[in-house]
Amino acid sequence: MSGAAGRLILILALAIAAATALAVLFGESAFDAGQLAQAFTDPSSGPAEVLWAVRAPRAVTALMVGAALGLSGAVMQGLLRNPLADPGVLGVSALAALGAALAIVLGWAALPGAVEVAALAGAGLAGGLLVLFSARVRSPEALILFGVAVSSFAGAATALIFNLSPSPIATAEVMGWLLGSVENRSWIDVAWVSPAVLASAALSAFAAPGLRMLSLGEETARTSGLPMARLRLMALLAAALATGAAVAVAGVIGFVGLAAPHLVRTAVRGDPGRLLLPSALAGGLMLVLADLLARMTPTDQELKLGVFTALVGAPLFALIAWRAAREWRL
């Protein structure tokens, strides 16, 4: 690990700690110093309830979801050797959302874990399709087009579900969830998403040498001596697992997976293996901050996190793309 990358990881970790603390301390109901002190001393008090049962799990959920998206984006960009790859662009989020929407409409939401598993299955299906396609077609541009097609199809199928759904309540539920949010998430949600993110991190750490070797292209990687078939499968599982978990818990949140790897790529000098951890941290930081800002923005209806990240993320990403364009012209 080079000095710059080590420093970056440290800075990101400190920033995450600070952002999480802010997210716990600040919110819609403003507390004075006495109330805050009460929250730390009296666990049964109102302020303690707000801080530890509402804001803290929400902030940690945002952190885990952001980390999952940042990790998944970094893995996909490395796997597909494409700086435009991300769970949103390639249709992984859209298929995960379709899976979850189906589960909700079919009334499985009452079964614990059914929606989550459906989202994971959708993400896994998308991952499998991408691997099949990328094994046959080498051009990165074609892969993006394929992802866009998958994404549109899943979007249309989700719209069809709205269209045919007999129950307006289910429709509203799916709709609210598609917009992406970590509102009212509890420690149970944290317990759901965390193991998936950790498992994904472990898988991608194993796959990292394969991602690095893929920088040289498919054929060189296949002759490098590394067990590429296995590493590629692990990377894919990692990306699908992280995306599926993120979508299952927080709905569809765009741009984090696309932007997080770009924010930290220069510090690791492009290395797709060393990019994974900083990208996950950057994604987590982005989402904790975004959720804090979305909560603090004075609107009648609370801003949905997915709407907020897209509003802020899209222009930001355009800026990054403009600056990074030089490196893509290889």
Partner 1 sequence: MTPFLTMWDAESRLGGRLVLDATDVLVETGEFVAVVGPNGAGKSSLIRAFAGLLPVTGGIVRLKGDDIRTLSPRERAERVAYLPQERRIAWNLPAIEVAALGAPFLAVEAAHERALKALAEIEAAHLADRGVAEMSGGERARVLLARAFATNAQALLVDEPIAGLDPDAQLMVLERLRARADAGQAVLASLHDLPLAARFAHRVLVMEHGRVAADAAPPQALTPEILQRVFGLSAQWIDGPDGPLLSAGRRHSPPDGSTTEPPGA
CA dist 65 and 256 (Å) reads 10
Interacting span for partner 1 (CB under 8 A) from 183-191, 211-219, 241-249, 251-259:
211-219
In degrees rounded to 5, what are phi and psi of residue 179? -70, -20
* Shortest Å, Cβ 221 to partner 1: 9
Q: Which is nearer to partner 1, 74 or 121 (CB)?
A: 74
Residue type, 14: L
Among 225, 298, 299, 322, contact with partner 1 (rule: CB under 8 A): 225
For residue 45, how many other CB atoms are within 10 A of its CB? 14
CA dist 218 and 83 (Å) reads 16
Token digits for 190?
Answer: 């944290």
Binding mask 227-246 for partner 1 (x = CB under 8 A): xx------------------
Interaction of residue 323 with partner 1, rule CB under 8 A: no
CA dist 60 and 274 (Å) reads 24
Q: Under a CB-based contact definition with an 8 Å cutoff, are residues 150 and 126 in contact?
A: yes
Interaction of residue 325 with partner 1, rule CB under 8 A: no
Token digits for 217?
Answer: 């292209």
* Shortest Å, Cβ 215 to partner 1: 5
Q: Which is nearer to partner 1, 110 or 330 (CB)?
A: 330
Closest CA to 128 of 146, 116, 140: 146
Interaction of residue 49 with partner 1, rule CB under 8 A: no
Restricting to residues 258-317, name those near partner 1 by CB under 8 A. 265, 269-272
CA dist 48 and 53 (Å) reads 8
Interaction of residue 223 with partner 1, rule CB under 8 A: yes
Binding mask 157-196 for partner 1 (x = CB under 8 A): ----------------------------------------
Interaction of residue 30 with partner 1, rule CB under 8 A: no
Residue 23 to residues 52, 104, 280, 300, Cα–Cα distance (Å): 11, 30, 19, 20
Among 55, 58, 185, 212, contact with partner 1 (rule: CB under 8 A): 212
Q: Which is nearer to partner 1, 55 or 81 (CB)?
A: 81
Q: Which is nearer to partner 1, 213 or 247 (CB)?
A: 213
Q: Which is nearer to partner 1, 155 or 209 (CB)?
A: 209
Residue 60 to residues 184, 193, 217, 284, 289, Cα–Cα distance (Å): 12, 10, 37, 9, 12
Q: Which is nearer to partner 1, 75 or 249 (CB)?
A: 75
Restricting to residues 81-140, name those near partner 1 by CB under 8 A. 81-82
What does the angle CA 280 – CA 86 – CA 295 come to, to the nearest 5 degrees? 60
CA dist 122 and 59 (Å) reads 26
Give me the residues that bind partner 1 (CB under 8 A), please: 81-82, 209, 212-217, 219-220, 222-228, 265, 269-272, 326-327, 330
